[in-house]
Amino acid sequence: MILTTTNNIENFKIVDYLGIVTGTAYNTSYSSKGKSMSFKDMFSTSKYYKMYAEGLEALKEQAFQNLKENATKLGANAVVGIQLDVEPLANSATLLVSITGTAVKVK
């Protein structure tokens, strides 16, 4: 499946617009690959940022997988105009990743 932030795809023609699709994922940003950061590690700047970055990447990947599944259900072979939003949930260490785009058929 082709995923792009642009509204068209070079060398392809959009033949059908199928609708807006989303993919979301949420979890704590302090966990990655099933491992959570220890209390002690939260005070190590390098470990904190490394775990935070890995956790965010895993959330983005899950949100993209959900986006592709939702587009496939509509019969799409591409998603154009993708926008990604990362929001912290109030009073918690949880991040919400939301990806939105337009599901299309291209030739």
Model pLDDT, residue 37 = 57
Can you tell me which residue has the tokens 């154009």?
A: 80
Convert the pLDDT of each residue in 55-69 to its tens digit.
889 899 999 999 999
3-state DSSP helix/strand/coil % of the chain, to nearest 5: 30, 40, 30
CATH number for 2-106 (one of 3.10.180.10, 3.30.110.70, 1.25.40.10, 3.30.360.10): it is 3.30.110.70
pTM for the model stands at 0.82
Domain boundaries, the chain: 2-106
Which pLDDT score, from 0 to 100, does residue 40 have?
Answer: 63
Distance (Å, whole) CA 2 – CA 102: 12
Q: Tell me which H or E stretch contains 69.
A: helix 45-73
Inform me whether the pLDDT recorded for 72 exceeds 90.
yes
